[in-house]
């Protein structure tokens, strides 16, 4: 029968080492987090809100551009 005891001990030792490394990383993250400010990861940028007057001006401008374009297409 295969003796799994040495393999098990080795795996437990590696797990203990990794836990120690993770504690160090957690400590570094805890120290650096306040210095970094608010994180924008995973957040969408805020939508810009246009006033009704601004939307109307944009709409009128676009309609004027289309009118000029259509006029040029008809004369061509």
- Per-residue pLDDT of 55-74, as tens digits, reads 999 999 999 999 999 999 99
- Per-residue pLDDT of 24-48, as tens digits, reads 999 999 988 888 776 666 677 788 8
Please enumerate in sequence order all residues whose Cβ is within 8 A of that of 50, keeping only pairs 6 or more positions apart, or say none. 58
């Amino acid at each position: 029968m295969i003796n799994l005891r040495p393999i098990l001990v080795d795996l437990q030792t590696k797990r203990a080492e990794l836990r120690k490394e993770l504690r160090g990383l957690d400590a570094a993250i805890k120290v650096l987090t306040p210095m970094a400010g608010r994180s924008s990861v995973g957040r969408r940028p805020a939508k810009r809100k246009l006033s009704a007057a601004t939307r109307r001006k944009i709409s009128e401008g676009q309609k004027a551009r289309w009118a000029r374009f259509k006029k040029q297409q008809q004369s061509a």
